[in-house]
């Protein structure tokens, strides 16, 4: 196996594959990257058994093939070597005993490789049920839900986002049982049949980064235990979580006793100030007091070790009953970060019942639910 390649082109593809490499690989060979060279393309694969990423670089003036073959190289060392090479191009050659020589200008490395035949094969996923959607749409719905997945694996199904794809709509919901985020967006060419997938939050985080700020077309190929996302020359595989996702619709309140509209920036700033003290205490809790008679909204927090903070928060509208409610400020901060509008509407029912945060725009189908904290 021998080729010469433009270093920047190689690094661009290498960085994407490295996203799938784990420092704690359960199978030793998965700490490596598999390179396969054919007469037409160079394929790089990385995997941690949960996520697998494959990129393909077509043969061109930037990639010249000497001889075909395949090899597995330790990802961390190989990546660092390539990034520190001095030249514009480098040559790569696999010699006897899987030793690999990398040469660029006056620099020459020889590193040990592994037999590529021992590397696990990627799953074969038919594209019978495949459909396409905008990368911007997918990234948007991931960023508005993924943060709410559970981090504890005691209920494994909650560590993923539940996606429902319909011909004209995509719906995603995530919950860790303390908060919930649900978003729906219109689709132009969704799947012909309803498709349900529970995708791990960690997989979606990496997928969102690969999509980036651009708006590529994404092909989605659902399988039985894996899902494949194709983005340009990148194939992103993720395992699917098994089990029945809870019926979250029944958790959403249908009516409210108190409603208040906040400017997003004003509320975020007040929340940050209150959190300065609550984060220092054992109980990370802030209290929101809504006085509809005095038309006053007060945010307060305290730490037994440091002191307390109180602040009157500017708001747009306040209607309904007086209310005092306590909650984790980090949950509300995450909800505000995910918001698309400059102002949000918060609706409350009772002091110990979950409250909702929605955009101040009824055309946006996005609702977040936060469970309060009992402080008495």
CATH number, domain with residue 20 = 3.10.150.10
> In this structure, is the dihedral angle defined by the CA atoms of residues 60, 76, 209 and 220, taken in order, positive or negative?
positive
Q: Is residue 11 part of a domain?
A: yes
Q: What local confidence, expressed as pLDDT, does residue 52 receive? A: 97
Q: Do 225 and 284 fall into the same domain?
A: no
Tell me what the mean pLDDT of segment 347-363 comes to: 95
Q: How many domains does the chain have?
A: 3
- Name the DSSP letter for residue 122: P
Distance of CA 272 to CAs 83, 201, 229, 269, 332, Å?
39, 26, 37, 5, 11
Q: Is residue 154 part of a domain?
A: yes
Q: Is residue 125 part of a domain?
A: no
Orientation of helix 7-18 relative to helix 75-84, angle to 10°: 150
Q: Is residue 321 part of a domain?
A: yes
Q: Do 259 and 233 fall into the same domain?
A: no
Percent of the chain with pLDDT over 90: 84
Q: How confident is the prediction for the chain on average, in pLDDT? A: 94
Q: Is residue 124 part of a domain?
A: no
| pLDDT confidence tier of residue 376, bands split at 50, 70 and 90 | low
Q: What local confidence, expressed as pLDDT, does residue 190 receive? A: 81
Q: Do 244 and 145 fall into the same domain?
A: yes
How many whole angstroms separate alpha carbon 153 and alpha carbon 156?
A: 5
Q: Do 292 and 347 fall into the same domain?
A: yes
With a cut of 90, say whether residue 189 has pLDDT above it: no
Quickly tell me which residue has 């985080």 as its tokens.
205
Q: Do 83 and 155 fall into the same domain?
A: no
End-of-domain residue from the set 86, 118, 150 = 118
pLDDT tens string 27-79: 899 999 999 999 999 999 999 989 999 999 999 999 999 999 999 999 999 99
How many whole angstroms separate alpha carbon 304 and alpha carbon 366?
A: 37
Decide if 223 contacts 239 (C-beta within 8 A).
Answer: no
How many whole angstroms separate alpha carbon 86 and alpha carbon 82?
A: 9
Q: Do 74 and 143 fall into the same domain?
A: no
Supply the DSSP string of 192-248, one letter for each residue. Answer: SS-EEEEEEHHHHHHHHHHHTTS--EEEEEE-SSEEEEEETTEEEEEE---SPPP-G
Q: What local confidence, expressed as pLDDT, does residue 215 receive? A: 85
Domain CATH for 356: 3.70.10.10
Q: Do 269 and 217 fall into the same domain?
A: no
Q: Do 154 and 93 fall into the same domain?
A: no
Q: What local confidence, expressed as pLDDT, does residue 304 receive? A: 75
Instruction: With H, G, I as helix, E, B as strand and everything else as coil, classify residue 264.
Output: helix
pLDDT tens string 211-266: 988 889 999 999 999 999 999 999 999 999 999 999 999 999 989 999 999 999 99
Q: Do 230 and 296 fall into the same domain?
A: no
Distance of CA 22 to CAs 154, 235, 308, Å?
22, 18, 43
How many whole angstroms separate alpha carbon 90 and alpha carbon 350?
A: 66
pLDDT tens string 294-324: 999 999 988 777 888 899 999 999 999 999 9
- Residue 238: phi and psi, rounded to 5, are -135, 140
Q: Is residue 139 part of a domain?
A: yes
Neighbouring-strand partners of residue 237: 52, 228
Quickly tell me which residue has 């029944």 as its tokens.
250
Q: Is residue 376 part of a domain?
A: no
With a cut of 90, say whether residue 102 has pLDDT above it: yes
Q: What is the pTM of this model?
A: 0.92
Q: Do 234 and 163 fall into the same domain?
A: yes
Q: What local confidence, expressed as pLDDT, does residue 74 receive? A: 95
With a cut of 90, say whether residue 136 has pLDDT above it: yes
Q: What local confidence, expressed as pLDDT, does residue 70 receive? A: 97
| Helix spans in the chain (H) | 7-18, 75-84, 135-143, 201-211, 264-278, 329-338
How many whole angstroms separate alpha carbon 139 and alpha carbon 154?
A: 27
Give residue 359's domain range: 252-370
Write out the two tokens for 39: 């007469």
Write out the two tokens for 228: 């494949």
How many whole angstroms separate alpha carbon 294 and alpha carbon 64?
A: 75
Q: What local confidence, expressed as pLDDT, does residue 291 receive? A: 95
Tell me what the mean pLDDT of segment 131-137 comes to: 93
Q: Is residue 197 part of a domain?
A: yes
Q: Do 25 and 57 fall into the same domain?
A: yes
End-of-domain residue from the set 53, 83, 118 = 118
pLDDT tens string 322-354: 999 999 999 999 999 999 899 999 999 999 999
Q: Do 137 and 111 fall into the same domain?
A: no
End-of-domain residue from the set 97, 118, 139 = 118
């Amino acid at each position: 196996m021998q080729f010469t390649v433009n270093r920047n082109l190689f690094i661009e593809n290498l960085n994407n594959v490295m996203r799938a490499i784990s420092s704690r690989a359960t199978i030793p060979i998965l700490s490596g990257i598999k390179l396969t060279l054919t007469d037409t393309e160079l394929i790089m694969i990385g995997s941690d058994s949960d996520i697998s990423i494959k990129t393909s670089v077509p043969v061109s003036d930037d990639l010249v093939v000497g001889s075909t073959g395949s090899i597995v190289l330790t990802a961390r060392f190989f990546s660092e070597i390539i990034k520190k090479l001095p030249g514009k191009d480098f040559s790569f050659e696999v010699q006897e005993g899987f030793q690999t020589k990398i040469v660029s200008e006056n620099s020459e490395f020889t590193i040990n490789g592994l037999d590529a035949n021992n590397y696990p094969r990627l799953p074969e996923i038919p594209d019978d049920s495949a459909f396409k959607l905008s990368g911007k749409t997918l990234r948007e719905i991931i960023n508005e839900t993924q943060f709410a997945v559970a981090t504890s694996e005691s209920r494994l199904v909650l560590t993923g986002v539940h996606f429902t794809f319909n011909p004209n709509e995509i719906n995603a919901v995530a919950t860790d049982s303390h908060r919930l985020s649900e978003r729906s967006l219109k689709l132009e060419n969704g799947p012909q049949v309803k498709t349900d997938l529970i995708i791990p939050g960690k997989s979606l985080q990496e997928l969102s980064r690969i999509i980036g700020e651009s708006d590529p077309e994404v092909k989605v190929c659902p399988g039985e235990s894996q899902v494949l996302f194709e983005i340009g020359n990148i194939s992103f595989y993720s395992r699917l979580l098994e089990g029945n996702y809870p019926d979250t619709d029944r958790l959403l309140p249908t009516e409210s006793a108190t409603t208040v509209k906040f400017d997003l920036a004003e509320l975020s700033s007040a929340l940050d100030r209150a959190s300065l003290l609550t984060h220092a205490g054992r109980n990370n809790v802030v209290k929101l007091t809504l006085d509809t008679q005095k038309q006053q909204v007060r945010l307060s927090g305290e730490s037994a070790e440091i002191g307390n903070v109180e602040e009157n928060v500017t708001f747009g509208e306040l209607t309904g009953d007086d209310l005092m409610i306590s909650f984790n400020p980090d949950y509300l901060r995450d909800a505000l970060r995910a918001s698309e509008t400059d102002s949000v509407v918060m609706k409350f029912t009772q002091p110990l019942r979950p409250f909702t945060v929605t955009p101040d725009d009824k055309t946006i189908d996005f609702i977040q639910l936060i469970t309060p904290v009992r402080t008495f």
